[in-house]
A and B are shown apart, each in its own frame.
Chain A
Amino acid sequence: MTDAPLDPRERSSIIRDSLGVGVATGAYGVGFGAVSVASGLSVAQTCALSFLVFTGASQFALVGVIAAGGAPISGALTAMLLGTRNTLYGLRLAPLLAWRGWRRVLGAHVLIDESTAMSVTRDTTAAARLGFLTTGVSIFVLWNLATLAGAVAGNAIGDPRTYGLDAAVGAAFLALLWPRLKGRRNQLIAAAAAVVALATVPLVPAGVPVLAAAAVALLAGVLTKDELQESAP
């Protein structure tokens, strides 16, 4: 990796691709805003989640656990467990982005799936930073605006069940899970986790079944051999 400046064509290509991803992803915020107020959070709480947490799956998880009647602390733990994947993204990106001090402190907030995807494949630090920031910042701005729009609209329509918004929560989780269901191993883990969660629903307080399912991931990690070698370059 070098510090060579970008040529103008590569620069505009990275910006165009990143903004495309940013607009497409930011629009999901409408779905989050509507689902969150349907789960019983206020508009202010919904907007605070998008601003402060800013990692979609974790936000959906927190409101999903609360919607199911779980304790907010169970929701927070589930959200943080889902947030651990951003730590691994950070490990991959740290040498590429090569940020120190306040740049790293600020940049960390927009470290999410999409900003990682749009920067991790770049050859130079300049290209990686441009892809990361253009994607991350455009999603941050649009995600927060769209959250507000979705929350206000969701709040205005009354009982969310009439509009099937409680069914939208499961659909949103499935759409987030879908791309990860390609391999047989992940399919088995997903099935086992769903069974564990449903089996424990009658036994433990709401919210805990989802945390119990995390044990499936731990067990699968211990029991399986490394398959990451195959995909490594």
Chain B
Amino acid sequence: MIWAAIIATGVGCYLLKLAGLSVPPRVLERPLVERVADYIPVALLAALIAVQVFSDGHSLSIDARALGLGVAVVLLLLRAPFLVVVFGAALVAALFRLLF
């Protein structure tokens, strides 16, 4: 199943890229389409964060992942690079689990 999802995502994402370079602009260049396309990454990424950090699949939960997210916020406010944010969050969550 995972392989099927990988292939489908690969084909789908490639066709989305090719469509942009191939479709006449007037087909998709409408204000509503552009607004929704701008909002989709914001909504999906926010939802992914919420589900990834505050749930365990079927119920809400709070654990070291929430602490990791807090660390990520601080690092982003300090303008830390991407990898520092990602591994900084992991490091603090790991330390928390080790100590408590």
Residues of A participating in the B interface, judged by any CB pair closer than 8 Å: 24, 27-28, 30-31, 35, 41, 45, 48-49, 52-55, 57-58, 60-62, 64-73, 75-76, 78-91, 93-95, 97, 99, 104-105, 107-109, 111, 161-178, 180-181, 186, 189-198, 201-202, 206, 209-210, 212-214, 216-218, 220-222, 224, 226-228
Would you call A213 and B21 a contact (CB within 8 A)?
A: no
Known: A91-B23, A108-B17, A164-B90. A221 touches B39 (CB 8 A): yes
Known: A72-B1, A80-B16, A170-B68. A213 touches B43 (CB 8 A): yes
B37, B59, B65, B73: the one contacting A84 at CB < 8 Å is B37
CA distance A53 to B3 in the complex (A): 12
Would you call B83 and A27 a contact (CB within 8 A)?
A: yes
Within 8 A of A (CB), among B6-58: 6-14, 16-23, 25, 28-29, 31-32, 34-58
Would you call A209 and B47 a contact (CB within 8 A)?
A: yes
CA distance A191 to B47 in the complex (A): 9
B41 to chain A minimum Cβ distance, whole angstroms, is: 6
Top 4 nearest A-B pairs by Cβ distance? A90-B20, A167-B68, A52-B10, A164-B93
Across the interface, which residues of B come within 8 angstroms of A217, CB to CB?
36, 39-40, 42-44
Would you call A164 and B16 a contact (CB within 8 A)?
A: no
Q: Chain B interface residue count: which class?
A: 35 or more
B34, B36, B81, B86: the one contacting A218 at CB < 8 Å is B36
CA distance A167 to B50 in the complex (A): 12
Would you call A193 and B52 a contact (CB within 8 A)?
A: no
Across the interface, which residues of A come within 8 angstroms of B65, CB to CB?
166-167, 170
B44, B69, B88: the one contacting A210 at CB < 8 Å is B44
Across the interface, which residues of B come within 8 angstroms of A82, CB to CB?
40-41, 44-45
Residue among A27, A84, A99 having the largest count of chain B Cβ atoms under 10 Å: A84
Across the interface, which residues of B come within 8 angstroms of A105, CB to CB?
18
Q: What's the A-B contact tally at a CB cutoff of 8 Å?
A: 324
Within 8 A of A (CB), among B69-92: 69, 71-73, 76, 81-83, 85-92
Residue among A54, A168, A197 having the largest count of chain B Cβ atoms under 10 Å: A168
Would you call A45 and B52 a contact (CB within 8 A)?
A: no
A45, A81, A166: the one contacting B40 at CB < 8 Å is A81
Across the interface, which residues of A come within 8 angstroms of B72, CB to CB?
170-171, 174-175
Would you call A210 and B41 a contact (CB within 8 A)?
A: no
B39, B92, B93, B96: the one contacting A189 at CB < 8 Å is B39
Known: A80-B16, A194-B50. A94 touches B34 (CB 8 A): no
Known: A164-B89, A221-B39, A224-B35. A198 touches B60 (CB 8 A): yes
Can you list 14 A-B pairs with a CB-CB distance of less than 8 A? A52-B6, A68-B57, A80-B12, A88-B28, A90-B19, A164-B64, A164-B96, A171-B85, A173-B49, A175-B82, A193-B50, A201-B59, A214-B44, A217-B39
Residue among B25, B44, B92 having the largest count of chain A Cβ atoms under 10 Å: B44
A64 to chain B minimum Cβ distance, whole angstroms, is: 5
Across the interface, which residues of B come within 8 angstroms of A163, CB to CB?
90, 94
